[in-house]
Each structure stands twice: as structure tokens, then as C-alpha cells.
A and B are shown apart, each in its own frame.
Chain A
Amino acid sequence: MPDYPRILNAGDSALVVEFGDAVDADINQSVYDFTAALELDSTFGVGEIIPTYRSALVNFDPLVISHVDVESAISRAISRSSATDTDERQPLIFTLPVQYGGEGGPDLERVAEHNNVTPDEVVRIHTSGVYRVFMLGFLPGFPYLGGMDERIATPRLATPRISVPAGAVGIAESQTGVYPMESPGGWNLIGLTPVQFFDPNVSPPVPIQPGSFIRFESKTADEIEKIKTQITAGEYVIPADGPSA
């Protein structure tokens, strides 16, 4: 087993800083603590940092800053971030309004039947979880969420849908997620959120930060309509609070 964290070459203009080799909340938290520490350093020539499940990719311009200097900045950030008191972290929890079942959740019954529970029980279990956003990828704003209850795990559809709408909330095996944009897909769709996960006309274009948390809240059709009106008027902000709230 290699010693973590370790720094690897990713070509001539990037380094990868690995904190482990597993999908694990502590490893993932180290990645985001490190990313925040390195961003605070604002070393000239260091560009985009891309945090993922268990590593962070650090892009830089090797004609402006040398590999050795970037490695020093990385080592400083590792020391500073590992010294951070875990109690001081205040990761955000975003609460996403979802209308479960009906037209927007055509597979809610299927998920219920597969797990021998009622559709209401599926909603109760799904809304009781707090899901870590391990990373964003695959599509703009697509959240890789962890921590779904195995009691509602359901295999993917045998035949993927040609078109899944933006905002569709789905389950695939023991993962849950939200489609940020209309695309083909084979996940079981249990509901629909009106929240836009990807809007290229605003910055940042994705409202959910990787490294934060998401929980889902069941809303009635009337409540969803009100939220949609607020979104159209540009007055909607996704409710977010700290872990103790």
C-alpha cells in the first residue's frame, strides 16, 4: 500500500494529490480541506484545482512556476489542512425540494415493489438521508452522492430512457442522484426537483458546491409551483444550513 497523501505526475502541466484509494467520507473530506488550503495560498501560476472522490488534480502553467515550487505549495497545503480542527468545519447542507411520484417520478412504484415497501416509505427513507456530494462530473453539475439507504437500492432500468428531464431525481443500485440537464438515462426516476443544477448563464454555473451535502424534502404540487414562480423571478435560493441546524 502506498503512503498517502502522495503526489503523482499528470503530464507536464498538472499534479495529482491522492489521499487514498477508496470511496470514503474521511478521505473525501481531506481532499476538500486540502483544496481549500491550496486555494488560500494563491500561488502565482497555479490554475484550476479539481477535487474528486479521493484526490485533487492541480493544474498549473509550468512556464510560470516549476514542478518543484508547486510541490512545495502542495506540501504546505497538506500540512495546513491536516492541522485544521475537524469541529471548525462548517460544510453546507443544501435542501432540495422534490415532488415525488406522479409524472415526474414514474419509477417510484417500481422502487417500492423491488424493496417490498410502500411508495410513501421510499419517500420517507429517501428524505431522511443526508448525502455527501463526493464530486461533480459526468455531466455539468451531476452530483456523485454517497450515503443512500440500502433499503431503497434498486437496479437500473433494463432499457434506459431516451430522454430524462433536467431535475429528475433517480436511484441506480445504491446510489441516488439528480440529472442536471436533459439527457438519456437508465436510473429509476422517483421524483423531480425544479431547482436548476446547471445554468451556464450564472457564475458559478452550478449552485451545489462539491464537498457539501444534500438532503431532499418532499413538497406538494402547490409548493413546487410556488418555488417555480420564485425561480422564474430569480428570487429563489436553495435553502442551506450548517450541520448542526
Chain B
Amino acid sequence: MTNSVLRIESPGLMSTIQDLGRFGYQRYGISTSGAGDRDSLRLGNLLLGNEFGDAAVEITFGGFAAGFTATTAFVISGADLNPTLNGTPVALNTIYLAAKDDHIAMSAPNTGFRSYMHLPGGVDCDEVLGSYSTYRPARIGGIDGRALRVGDELSALEPGRDVPSGVTLNFPASESIQSPQSVRVVMGPQDDHFTAAGVQTLLGEVFTVTDRSSRQGVRLDGPDIEAVNDSYDIVSDAVVTGSIQIPGDRKPIILMSDRQTTGGYPKIAVIATVDLPLIAQSAPGAQIQFTAIDREEAVALLRKRESLITSATLISSDVREFELLVDSDLHRVHAPLLAGEQSMERFQIELDGIRHTVAIEDIE
């Protein structure tokens, strides 16, 4: 690729390019894919001035290394995989400027399981059916529909764009994964396929994430979940991300973004959307305890989370106050300084919800 900014030296356990997913084609058997941890993806993008859904590199469990082939800004969000830039620790959710020949590396996770590396404008790659997300089973999206390999070169869609310098987000720091981690579920659609004891086992016991987990499903180990008449088959129906299906070995599998679109096992419950990032960030060995909530409570929790994310704003250590006269209305705005290679100072100014980049020649 000609305008590459990053060359993969080691993809680690698995790295793929993901955005918020591919919607509208599930009836054709094409899954949604998309980032496991949607919240981290969106916050990292917001920080870099990207659109919420711009594509990033999803890095799993560390072992990742890459060299910069051009100057670019970047942000790391999600799990803390101990990232370093030229050997110096990199803070999460912070904008960095890397120069050509700089080197980024990640080792084993400090907390969490999946990290996101964001570039200005998102990673440029194959857009298929409206999404950049890699969906390996169908070999579409990302780079040739596959996981990243040594030697892959990645480009940014807006490599030279100004980015705010020295900013962070006013968003509560994500809590680290607890042990056991409490995860909320909405019961159904096939909870009536299970005995009362089976439901009690799901909600009363602790389950452990196994290493046979992937972007398709998180397999849990724990006590057997008992079905009525010992029947673990249903006539196949459609599933959603977060469905907890119980196959014949009686152990739960949580279906994740690369799941198939349909399944033939009964689904005892579905993870509340607000808690899906917790599942995506649970590494093998993590312990999970399920709590049932009703759908209205799940929606209320989601509404609260979404309002936090959409109202998150940049806090800059280098912010100036301006008075602007717009249509004879005086606006007082706080604008963060943008980092870039231009000679003039540039600021990001938000007016009526629209972000503008303003260059200023003289400040009185």
C-alpha cells in the first residue's frame, strides 16, 4: 500500500481490523462482525477526532509489534496490553504522535483482553457491504478478509489531519475486570427449555472463560446447566450477539461478533448490551457470575451508558477561550489546540454540535 503509516512486525495472538460492524445482511448468512468492545472503539475514535464507527486494529492479548512508516497520530484504547512506544510506556486513551521508524509493542495484558489502535480517519482497508470489519469465515473486510500478518502495511484514511494535542476524555475510567465479574443478562428467548435448577445454576454459580474462545464465541466452563428432558437441540433460529447458548455438553457459549447468524442450540439468556464489552474484555481464566435483570432495566442502563459516551468531550491541557460573533450572536467557546505540522496554530471549535478546525494568524 502506498500511503502506509504502520507495518505489522508481529500480529500477536490475533489482530483484525474492526469497525462497529456490518448490518443488514444477516438474513443472507452474513454476520455483523465488528469490535468486541464497542465502547472502547467509540471512545478511542472520539478522542482522535474520528467518527464513532471508524475502523481500528483490534489487538488480542498482546504479542503485537509494529513499526511506523510515516508520521502519524494514534490512540490506544480498550485493554491495557502494556503498550510501549520505542520502549517507553504508552498511556491508554491519550493521543500520541509517532514519527517514521518509531516502534510500538504490546505484551501480555495487565487488564482486559482486547486493545484498539486508532489512526486518524480510521484504518483504510477493504470496505465490503458498508463495513470495514474483518469477517474471517466469509473472508471479507479488513485486509483480504483475514487476520493481520507480519509485513502487512496499514494506511490511515486521513493521515495528515490535525489532531488535538494533550487532550483526554471526560469519561469515567473503565473499571477493571473484577473476579468474579458480575455480568447482567436478560432471560430468554429459550429459558423455558431449561429446568428451574438449570436456570438457578446459570444465575447462582461462577463460570470460567476457557481458552477455546474466539471472536465467534466465548466458551465457559462451570457446572452443567440442566435442560428439560435433557434436550439441547432446537429447530435452528436466528441469534444475537451476546446470546448464551447451551449445547449438548451443557456448558455455556456466549456468541460474539463473528458468530454465525443462526444456531440450533437453546439460548437460555442474552447478555445486556451494556455489559457486552465486559465479555469481550474477559481473557481465558476470567470468572463470570450472571445476574438476571428485566429488559426495561437493561435498556435504562444502556441509555445511561450511551448518554455518557455521546456526551463525552475532550479535555485539553492546552485550551484557549475565544469569543466568536456568529450571526450577531456572541459565542464564548473553549477550544483545544490541535497538534500538527502546520506553522499556524489551529484550534478545534465546536459550534451547535458541529466541529470546525480554525487557523489563527494573530491572537490579541
Contacts and interface: CB of A to CB of B under 8 A. Distances in A.
Contact of B235 (A21, A48, A62): A21
Contact of B298 (A12, A55, A201): A12
A16 interface: yes
B299 interface: yes
B24 to A, nearest CB: 6
B26 interface: yes
B175 interface: no
A63 B299 contact: yes
Contacts of A13: 240, 273, 302
Contacts of B187: 9
B302 A63 contact: yes
Interface string A118-141: 000000000000000001111111
Interface string B307-345: 000000000000000000000000000000000000000
A23 interface: yes
Contacts of B25: 140, 204-205
A189 B356 CA distance: 60
Interface stretch (B83-91, B98-106, B137-145): B137-145
Given A8-B189, A10-B240, A200-B138, A50 B27 contact: yes
Interface in B22-77: 23-30
B236 A137 contact: yes
Contact of B28 (A9, A136, A201): A136
B238 interface: yes
Given A48-B27, A135-B262, A204-B28, A14 B137 contact: no
A137 B128 contact: no
Q: Is the interface of A mostly helix, strand, loop or mixed?
A: loop
A12 B188 contact: no
A193 interface: no
Given A10-B189, A63-B303, A210 B27 contact: yes
B278 interface: no
A190 B303 CA distance: 53
20 contacts: A11-B270, A11-B271, A11-B298, A14-B270, A21-B234, A50-B26, A53-B235, A57-B239, A62-B295, A63-B299, A135-B236, A135-B262, A136-B27, A137-B260, A138-B262, A180-B29, A181-B139, A200-B140, A205-B28, A210-B28
Given A11-B240, A16-B189, A139-B137, 10 more contacts: A12-B270, A12-B272, A13-B240, A48-B23, A52-B236, A55-B237, A135-B236, A136-B29, A138-B262, A200-B129
Interface of B: 23-30, 128-129, 137-140, 186-190, 234-240, 242-243, 260-262, 267, 270-273, 295-296, 298-299, 302-303, 306
What 10 A-B pairs have minimum CB-CB distances, sorted nearest first?
A: A11-B270, A12-B298, A57-B238, A8-B189, A137-B262, A50-B238, A206-B28, A9-B188, A62-B299, A136-B29
